[in-house]
Amino acid sequence: MTSGKKDQELVRGLNLLAAVMIVIGSMIGSGIFRKPATMAGQLLSPEMLLLVWIIAGVISFIGALTNSEISGMIDETGGQYAYFRIMYGDFTAFLYGWATLSVIQTGSQAAIAYVFSEYLGYFFKYPHFPKEIEQMGVYMPLVGEIFPLKDFGTKAVAMLTIGFLTTVNYLGVVFGGAVQTVITIVKIASIILLSVLILMIGNGTFSNVYSGFSSLQGQAGGLGMLSMIGLALSGAFWAYDGWNNVTFVSGEVKNPKRNVPLALLIGTFGVIVIYVLINVAFLYVLPVREMAKSPLVAASAAELIFGPIGASIISVAVIVSSFGALNGSILSTARIMFAMARTKLFFRSLGWVHERYKTPHVSLLVMGSWSAVLVLTGSFDIITDYVMFAAWLFYALGAFGVFILRRKMPSAPRPYKVWGYPFTPALFVAFSLVFLLNTLISDAQNARMGLVLVFSGVPLYFYMKWKARKSNTGVVRLEEK
C-alpha cells in the first residue's frame, strides 16, 4: 500500500473496552429515565413490567447474537451498510444508509441532544424570544408547520452540544473513544449506585416487586393484554436501541473479528442487567400504580431517598447519560456516509480522511450539521415516528441475512457462529415481522410515511450509479487513448 493510500485510511485505534463502551453508551440514554412510568401505566403489573424489560432485552440480545456472526465475518467500516451490500446488493444497502443518515440516526441525535439541553436547563434558565416571534412558523414537507424559534434557548444549547461532540470526534477516533469510555463508566456507575442506594436505604418493600401476579386480576384479558404488552415492548425497545452502532466502526476496532462480536454480546447483556436492576429499585419504593403517575420516575424515586435534592441528582444522571449516548451515536454513524462514499454510492468528499486526525471529517461535519437542523425544526419526534417501521424492516433484513450468508458464503471463516442457529435468528425475524404487521395495522400513517422517506432516496441512488458508470467509462476511454 502506498503512503498516499495510507493517508486515506482510518486508524484501528479502538480496543475491546472502547467497543463495549460504544455499545453500552449508545443504548443507555434518556429512555431508561422516561419510559418506565409509561410502561407501568400500560401494564399495571410489576411482574409484567420486569418481564417486558427482560423480553425486550432478550430479543435485542438475539439481534446482537445474529450481528455477531456477521461482524465476525465482515470487518468493514460502515457495519450494517457493508453487510447489506454483501447480502442484498447496492440498492438495499443504499436505502439503509439513506434512511439511517437522513432521519433514523440523525433524528435520534437531535432528540438526545434536546433531552440533554432540557435537563441542563434545570440548572440554567435559557432565554426565550417573545411569543409573537416564537409563533412564526414555516411549512416543512411531510411534517407540516414547524416553529424554529420556539424554545430557541433549549435548541441552541442542543445544537452547540452536537457541534462540540462532532469536534471531539473530528479530532480523532481514539480521543472520541476515550471520551465515550469515561462517560459510559460514569453513567454505569451512577445508575448502579442509585439502584443500590434505593434498595439499601429506601423505605420500600419487595412486595411491590412481586405480588404473585395478583395485580393482573380484573384487567382486560386476551387481545387487550397482548396489545398493552406490545405497546410496552415498543417503549422498552426504544430504550434498548443502539446496540448495533459498534458495527459502524468495525474498520477502526483492533482485532475486529474478535472484538466486535464480543462487544455486542458483553454490552447488550450488561444493559439488560442494568435496566432490570434499576426497574427493581424503582418498584421497591414505588408501587406500580404510583410509578405510573410519575412521568420522571427516577426523580420521584430519588426524592424519596434524598429529598428535594433528588431531582437535581437525577437531572445530572440524565445529563451524563444523554451526553454519552449522543457521543456514541456521532462517533459511529458518520462511518456509514464514509463507507457509502468509498463504494461510490454517495458523494466522494464524504469518503475523505483527515490528513492529520485520520477521521472521516467531512462525513462528521455533514452529519452534525443535519442533526442540528433537525433540532432547529423541533420535529424530530414526528420524523423518528415515521421511520420506526423502516428501522424494524432493516432489523428483519439484517437477521435474515445470516441465512443468506450461510448459503452464499458457506466456507467463509466464522470466528463466531450464532448460538441456536437456525432457531434464534428465525425467532428474531419472526418477531420483527409481527412488529411490522402490528405497526401497519395500528400506526398505518406513520408506517406509510416511513416508507416514503426511505424510498425518497431512490432518485439519488440512480444518480450516484449513473455518475459512477460515467466515471468508469471516462477511465476506460482515457486508457484506450
Domains and CATH numbers, the chain: 7-480 (1.20.1740.10)
pLDDT tens profile 160-190 = 999 999 999 999 888 888 888 999 999 899 8
Distance of alpha carbon 112 from alpha carbon 117, whole angstroms: 9
Write down the pLDDT at residue 476.
36
Are 190 and 320 in contact, with CB atoms under 8 Å apart?
Answer: yes
Q: Is the predicted pLDDT of residue 480 greater than 70, yes or no?
A: no
Helices assigned H by DSSP within 202-243: 223-240
Higher-pLDDT residue of 386 and 243 is 243
Q: What is the mean pLDDT of residues 230-239?
A: 82
Q: Which of 304, 307, 308, 266 is nearest to 287 (CA)?
A: 304
> If pLDDT is split at 50, 70 and 90, which confidence band does 459 have?
very high
User: How far is C-alpha 433 from the chain's CA centre?
Assistant: 20
Mean residue pLDDT of the chain comes to 85
> If pLDDT is split at 50, 70 and 90, which confidence band does 481 have?
very low
CB atoms within 10 A of CB 224: 10
Q: Is the predicted pLDDT of residue 477 greater than 60, yes or no?
A: no
Helices assigned H by DSSP within 343-457: 361-377, 380-386, 388-408, 423-442, 444-455
Distance of alpha carbon 464 from alpha carbon 341, whole angstroms: 10
Write down the pLDDT at residue 380.
65
**Can you tell me which residue has the cell 414505588?**
286
Q: Which three cell numbers stand for residue 55?
A: 423480553
> If pLDDT is split at 50, 70 and 90, which confidence band does 125 have?
confident
Q: Which three cell numbers stand for residue 8?
A: 486515506
Q: What is the mean pLDDT of residues 364-371?
A: 94
